[in-house]
Amino acid sequence: MTATQWISRVIRPLAIVAGIGPAIWLGLKFLRDDLGANPAEYLEHFTGTAALVILLLSLTITPLRRLSGINTLIRLRKPIGLWSFAYACLHFSCYLVFDQSLDLSEILHDIAKRPYITVGFSAWLLLLSLALTSFAGAIRTLGGKRWNALHRLVYVAAAGGVIHYLWSVKRDVSVPSALGGVLIVLLAARIERRPRKAMPMQGVGVPE
């Protein structure tokens, strides 16, 4: 099998299925009553971390594709990105149910008044818009240029996720700082190195 066939026939189906792994692990821990003293907090933290880590994983695809020259790798970006959105939705649901008991006016007040919640909610809205436009029909409707511009917002969503995490922790900022470092490296890897224009050499005959 060629690398392209491996990615299409083995790695992509694996990426589609593997995203359920963390949820199964969490489910088993729940069944074993092993979610610690505060299960609601555990679920909220686990799903938030899963959403952010999987989002960063989806951002490794473009640099990997550039480094390897294997264009089919791009086919992994959508399933990984959608899994990140799925965990972000679970995380948001934990907040809605456990923290706010589905009280709509409390939720709206909290989103407006607490900056780290505002940032998390904005990141979730961005992920929602990317998920809704991740299908072939949306690319046709928006046109390639606009679709690409919209999907570059994934970096804004990831930065929002990191800031939201940094803002939510009270003492030890080592994990969110490390994830922020990973995001900076991934952003730097995205910057295209354009070949410099050849400068005509002065005083030397430049061939036409």
**Contacts to ligand HEM by CB under 6 A:** 44-45, 48-49, 51-52, 55, 88, 91-92, 95, 99, 117, 120-121, 123-124, 127, 161, 164-165, 168-169
Residue that is written with structure tokens 């729940």 in the block: 30
Distance CA 76, CA 134 (A): 12
Nearer to ligand HEM, 99 or 139 (CB): 99
> Rounded to an integer, what distance in angstroms lies between the CA atom of residue 82 and that of residue 192?
26
The least CB distance from residue 116 to ligand HEM, in Å, is 7
How far apart are CB 71 and ligand HEM at their closest, in Å? 27
- Considering the complex, state which of residue 8 and residue 118 has its C-beta at the smaller distance from ligand HEM: 118
Nearer Cβ to ligand HEM (7/164): 164
CB 59 to ligand HEM: min, Å: 12
Residues 6+ apart with CB under 8 A from 120: 160, 161, 164, 168
Cβ proximity to ligand HEM: between 83 and 92 the closer is: 92
99 by Cβ neighbours in 10 Å (0-12 / 13-18 / 19+) ranks as middle
Measured from the CB atom, the residue of 18 and 175 that comes closer to ligand HEM is: 175
Is 150 strand, coil or helix? helix
Closest contact distance (angstroms) between CB of 169 and ligand HEM is 6
Nearest CA-CA partner of 53 in 24, 78, 83: 83
Shortest distance in whole angstroms from residue 50 CB to ligand HEM: 8
Residue type, 115: P
